[in-house]
Structure 1
Amino acid sequence: MKIAIFGQFYHKHSEIPVEILLKHLLKKQADIYIERHFFDLIHDELENDEPYYAFKTFEVLDHTYDLLISIGGDGTILRAVTFVKELGIPIVGINAGRLGFLATIPKEHIEQAIDDILEGHYNISERSLLEISTTPENKTISEMNFALNEIAVSRKDTTSMITVETSLNNEYLTSYWSDGLIIATPTGSTGYSLSCGGPVITPDTNSLVLTPIAPHNLNARPLIITDSTEIKLKVSGREDNYLVSLDSRIATIDNDTVLTIKKANFSIKMIELLNESFLKTLRKKLLWGEDKRN
C-alpha cells in the first residue's frame, strides 16, 4: 500500500502521535511518502530521525497513492484536501489538535486504527465540496477554487457591515446586512456555520446551509437548500473590497464582483473506522446525551 502522510506543524501536541505513527508504519513495511515540508519539520525537531530516512517525500499526489494520513487537527485535513483534489484518495485524520470532528483518531488508538485500515476494516464516507467562480476572474481563487467545509464572505478593514445580495438559481433571495455570509456543506455544518447559529447536518444529506454572520436584519435566519442550487453573491460596503475564505484559504475580492457558488463535481473520501460514526462523534465532541437524566 502506498501511503502519503501530511502535517502542518510539529510541536508538543503532535510529537507523540507522529512518533507512534511513524514507528508503527516502519514495522508494517508500507510504502510511505511524507510531504516535503512536514518531513523537514520532523528532521529539524527529532533528535534521532535516522530510522525515518527510509521514508520518501512528496510535493504533489497522483493516482498511485492508496491513502493519505493527516496528522494534526481538522484544519490540517482541510489543507490535506488541497493535495487530494479530485484524485479520490481516501483520507484519514489522526487528532493532534483540539476538537477533531474530522480528525477523529486519538493518539491512544493510532496503532489499532492503522492495522484496521491496512486490513480493510473501515467504511468510506463521501463528502461533498463547494466550488466558486468569480466575474471578473480572480486569479487567487481560480487556482484553488474549492472548499470542503465552507465558503464565506466577510468584511475587511472596517467595522461597518457589508451587504450580501444573494440569489438562488438566478432568483433573488435577500440582501444580508451583516458581517458576512457562510455557505457550508454538511461537513462544514459543524464548523464556522455552527458557531454562528447554523444547524448540524449529517454528512450524507444532499444539502447546503446559508448562515449569516451577525446579521443586522434580525429576521434573517440560517437557510437549508438543496445542494443542486447555484448561489450568486454580490457584496457591497463602505470599503472597496472584502474577504472570501475557502476553508482556511483567504482571498481579497473587489466590491461588485459576482461570486457563483455551487456543488463541486467531485467528492472527498473520508475513512470511517467501523467503531466510529458521525452520531458517535456528535455525542463525543458536542457532549450530546450528557444530560444527567440520560
Structure 2
Amino acid sequence: MRVAIYGINFDNSFDSYIQELMNQMDSYGWEIIVHEKFLEFLTSRVKLKVDCRTFNNDSFKSEKASFLFSIGGDGTFLDSAKIVADTGVPVLGINTGRLGFLASTHKEDIAGALKFIKQGKFRIIRRSLLCLIEPEGLFGKTNFALNELTVHKKDSASMITIHTYINDLYLNSYWADGLIISTPTGSTAYSLSCGGPILVPGAQDHIITPIAPHNLNVRPVVVPDDRVIRLKVEGREGNYLVSLDSKSVAIEPTFELVIKKADFYINCVVVDDDNFLNTMRNKMMWGLDKRN
C-alpha cells in the first residue's frame, strides 16, 4: 500500500509523533511518499529513519496512492483536498494543534488510527464541494472549494450589492460586505461565524450567508445543492474579491459568477468512534455548565 503525506510546519511538541508515524507505516510495509515541500521541513526537524520519496501537486494523480495523510489543521486539510481533487484518494486528517472538524485524529491517537486502517476498520465519509463554472479559468484547475465560495468587497469601506439567482429565479439583492456560498462542510467555518446554520456532512444542501448585511431582516438561506447559483456584483470600486476556500482572486464587476455542486467528492477517513456530532459537541463546548 502506498501512502502520501502532506503537511505544514508544526512545533517541536509534534516531532516525536511524526517519527513514530513514519516508523509505524514502515513496519507495516507501506510505501511512503511525502510532498516535496513538507519533506524539506521534516528533514530539517527530525532524523527520518525510513525510506521515502517525494511527490508534488502535479505528480500526485500518477502516484495512485491508497491514502493521503494530511498533517496539520483544517486549513491543511483544505490544501490536501486541492491535491487530491477528483482522484477519490481517501484523506485522513491528523491534527497537530487545536481541535478540528476535518483534521480530527489527535496526535495521541495516531498509532490506533493506523492500526485500524491496516485492519480495514474505518469508514469513508463523502464530502461534497462547490464548483465555480463561470468565469471559466479564473482559478485554473482548482476551481472548486470544500468549504465555501466567498464574494467580498475590496479596498473600500463601501458595501457591495450582490444580485442572487437560484436556477435563474431571482432570490435577493444583498447590500453587504460580501456573501458566502457554503457546503455542509463549510457550515462550521466562515458561514457559522456570520450566523449561518450547521449542517451535517451528508446534507444535500448549500447555504447562502450574507456578510454584515445592511438590512437586518436578511438571514441565511439553505437551498438544495442541485440548484445553480448565479451572482451579479455591483459596487463603487472597480473590482471585488472572489475566494475558493483560502485562495482569492480580484475580479471586475462585469463578470457573472455561476456556482454549482462539483461532480466529485472528497473521501474522508473516519476511524474508531470518531464522528461529526462528537467533534461538534466538543468544539462548541455544548453541555458544559460552569456551575457544575
TM over 0.5: same fold?
Answer: yes
Listed one character per residue, the Cα deviations across residues 153-200 of structure 1 (whole Å, up to 9, x for unaligned) are 111111111111100000111111111000110011001100110000
Q: Which residue in 2 is equivalent to 1:256? A: 254
Distance apart, 1:142 and its partner CA: 3.4
Partner SS state of residue 115, structure 1: helix
The range that moved more, 284-293 or 63-72, is 284-293
CA contact (8 A) 2:10 2:96 kept: no
User: What amino acid is the match of 2:60?
Assistant: L
Partner SS state of residue 111, structure 1: helix
Distance apart, 1:227 and its partner CA: 0.4
Q: Which residue in 1 is equivalent to 2:7? A: 7
Q: What's the TM-score, normalizing by structure 1?
A: 0.94
**CA pair 154-14 structure 1, distance change in 2 beyond 3 A:** farther
CA contact (8 A) 2:123 2:270 kept: yes
Q: Which residue in 2 is equivalent to 1:39? A: 39
Partner SS state of residue 288, structure 1: coil
CA contact (8 A) 2:72 2:93 kept: yes
Aligned residues: 289
Q: Which residue in 2 is equivalent to 1:230? A: 228
Q: Which residue in 2 is equivalent to 1:61? A: 60
Select 2:287's aligned residue among 278, 286, 289: 289
Q: Which residue in 2 is equivalent to 1:152? A: 150
Cα distance between partner residues in 2 of 1:230 and 1:221: 20
Distance apart, 1:44 and its partner CA: 2.1
Cα distance between partner residues in 1 of 2:240 and 2:16: 40
CA contact (8 A) 2:126 2:265 kept: yes
Structure 2 unmatched ranges of 5 or more: none
Q: Which residue in 2 is equivalent to 1:270? A: 268
Q: What's the TM-score, normalizing by structure 2?
A: 0.94
User: What amino acid is the match of 1:155?
Assistant: K
CA contact (8 A) 1:10 1:45 kept: no
Distance apart, 1:292 and its partner CA: 6.5
The range that moved more, 270-279 or 222-231, is 270-279
> Percent same amino acid among aligned pairs?
45
User: What amino acid is the match of 1:56?
Assistant: R
Cα distance between partner residues in 2 of 1:151 and 1:241: 17
Distance apart, 1:285 and its partner CA: 1.2
Cα distance between partner residues in 1 of 2:125 and 2:21: 23
Distance apart, 1:256 and its partner CA: 2.6
Listed one character per residue, the Cα deviations across residues 82-120 of structure 1 (whole Å, up to 9, x for unaligned) are 111111100010001323110001111111111111211
**CA pair 157-99 structure 1, distance change in 2 beyond 3 A:** farther
Cα distance between partner residues in 2 of 1:176 and 1:39: 45
Root mean square deviation, CA, Å:
1.6
Cα distance between partner residues in 2 of 1:97 and 1:10: 8
User: What amino acid is the match of 2:214?
Assistant: H
**CA pair 72-230 structure 1, distance change in 2 beyond 3 A:** same
Partner SS state of residue 170, structure 2: strand
Select 2:164's aligned residue among 150, 163, 166: 166
Distance apart, 1:34 and its partner CA: 0.4
Cα distance between partner residues in 1 of 2:196 and 2:240: 22
Partner SS state of residue 85, structure 1: helix
**CA pair 32-134 structure 1, distance change in 2 beyond 3 A:** same
CA contact (8 A) 2:6 2:38 kept: yes
User: What amino acid is the match of 2:33?
Assistant: Y
Q: Which residue in 1 is equivalent to 2:181? A: 183
User: What amino acid is the match of 1:107?
Assistant: K
User: What amino acid is the match of 2:61?
Assistant: D
User: What amino acid is the match of 1:210?
Assistant: I
